[in-house]
Amino acid sequence: MNEAIFQGILLRTAQAAIEASMTVLCGLLVVGVMRRMLGTEGVRKLFGGFGARGLLRAWGVGTLLPVCSLGVIPIACEMRRCGVRSGTVLAFVLAAPHINPLSLLYGLTLSEPMVIICFAIGSLMMAVTAGALWEFFLARAEDTPPPEPETLPAPGLKRLLSVLITAGQESVRPAMLYVLLGVSVTGLASGLLPHGCLSHTMRHDDPTSPLLMTAIATPLYAGPLQGMMRLGLIFEHGNSAGAAFALFELGIGVNAGLFVWMATLYGVRRVTVWFAVIMAMTVGLAYVAERTLYFAHEEASHTHAFDEWTSPFPADSSVGWAEVRQKLLQKIEVLEPVSVGGLALLMVVGWLARRLDRAGGLERWLVRRPPVSGRPTSLLNRQVPGPVLGIFALLGLVAFSIAALFIYYPAPQATFDEIAQVRAEAMTAVNTGNKEEAIRQIQHWDLLTRKLQVGVFIRTGRMDKEAGQATEDLRECLEELRDTLLADNPAGARQLVAVVSAAHRKCRDAYAAFMDK
């Protein structure tokens, strides 16, 4: 195998793993809360019973949890263990990855708000309809095993500790193999697809765009934030609105690992039929969206929205491991070290619990009730019902995602301070002919302009029209500069430095005027 292709596969796999780390971590913690605080009965009550009520609740709960199409797998396993009906489980699996508090604001800011709202309504329709189709036509009695008996831990620190231990145990259980499969398939396929082969696809004037996106997006993984960013690029470049819906529903919503997990549980034949129906519904709605939700005034001839689904290096290029490391580090921002470290810690806890507690003594200690005493109960050991704590814990995850939103999208001044450093490094690299470094910094600069818009929106509740236009103009200049570098035209790139700098100053001044109002 060509070394550049091999390095590309490793890089794309590692990037997908880092991208998924935060939402997978949240999924594992949700499992701990569900099992140790809500309990089997609480989980079944949360997701309702047979029919539309359970399906709608699955969609509603899914939209609140910051998980992805990989992080949803352990939660779905826990729902099944608790005896939730299979149709409701599958409705939740389809609904949860698309929208959460972080990705919703990102999409509303960088894409057409009406389009994102319509996509969310389409997601609701798809999840409920698909769950109902499964429930009435494909479900079998053995799909919903009887709930496993369990004893909730005693109140106090034990209950909190048991949540972390359970999350750790789930991180080393077979369900995580499907998460690894989803990441690996994405890395392998992305590394094998030729560099930039999707840059001239997904055009609005190409009637096959929704079909192509459906074929590519279904097996590959895209996190909610990364998926929303690609949606923003699609609408920014005037690409296919139908392809955008297919990306939203299937790119963000499913992946190869999720499909194999479902096929293992419910059978290849039934799951294949069900997925075929979902894909057909998606394509149908995509062509409806193509005509009704296309608002672009002009269409760009190419796009970089799908570069991360292709090899990062040309097949004939000579790539050093230092460059691979640089591109990987670029994926690690503020929250990623926390999520990767948290996942590693949970896996250590789970491995130790499995290796050192084969007799189940830890579990017996966690659920053992302290003897009744006449002494006053301490604050940490108050008898708060587990389901109440469970609901508050799930709401706490929503609050955490909102806090993470403000961390991931900093205040405008902080973003501009970071842009100043990136801009200086990018311009230096262009002027000195360091093509790869220049492209890397330009990509980072482009990402920061998007974070700038979201950071302003979540703090002010609005987006100034002039500032938004100045940001789009700057991104167009950055894209032109990047394309010139990719075309091996260093002289032309140096001529564009002044144009990009002027667009940057205009953007900065527009935001300063807006924030001073």
Q: Is the pLDDT of residue 218 over 80?
A: yes
Q: Are 186 and 13 in contact (CB under 8 A)?
A: yes
Query: Is the model's pLDDT at 401 over the cut of 80?
Result: no
Find which of 74-83, 375-384, 407-416 is predicted with most confidence, using mean pLDDT. Answer: 74-83
Non-local CB neighbours of 500 within 8 Å, separated by 6+ positions: 427, 474, 477, 478, 481
More confident residue, 443 or 262: 262
Mean pLDDT confidence for 435-449: 88
Reference 65, options 343, 348, 390, 345; nearest CA is 390
Q: Which residue has better confidence, 3 or 286?
A: 286
CB of 369 closer than 8 Å to CB of 154: yes
- Long-range contacts of the stretch 377-381 (C-beta < 8 A, 24+): 378/156, 380/156, 380/157, 381/154, 381/155, 381/156
Please give the Cα distance from 34 to 361 (Å, whole number): 22
Confidence at 496, pLDDT banded by 50, 70, 90: very high
Round to whole Å and give the CA distance between 418 and 425: 11
First to last CA, the chain: 58
Q: Tell me the pLDDT tens digit for each residue of 353-393.
A: 888 887 888 888 887 776 655 554 555 455 566 566 667 77
pLDDT beyond 60 at 186: yes
pLDDT of residue 350: 94
> 76 near 93, Cβ under 8 Å?
yes
The model's pTM: 0.85
pLDDT tens for 235-262 read 888 899 999 999 999 999 999 999 999 9
Average pLDDT (407-415) is 87
CATH class, range 411-516: mainly alpha
Overall residue count recorded for the chain in this entry: 517
Residues 417 and 68: beta-carbon distance below 8 Å: no
Token readout for 243 is 């392809």
So what's the pLDDT on residue 231?
87
- Mean pLDDT over the full length of the chain: 87
Query: Among residues of the chain, what percentage have pLDDT more than 90?
Result: 46
Q: Residue 98's pLDDT band (boundaries 50, 70, 90)?
A: confident
The average pLDDT across 400-429 equals: 87
Q: Where are the domains of the chain?
A: 3-347, 411-516
Q: How far is CA 40 from CA 82, 167, 246, 348, 355, in A?
A: 5, 16, 35, 26, 26
pLDDT (tens digit per residue) in 285-314: 999 999 888 877 678 777 888 888 999 888
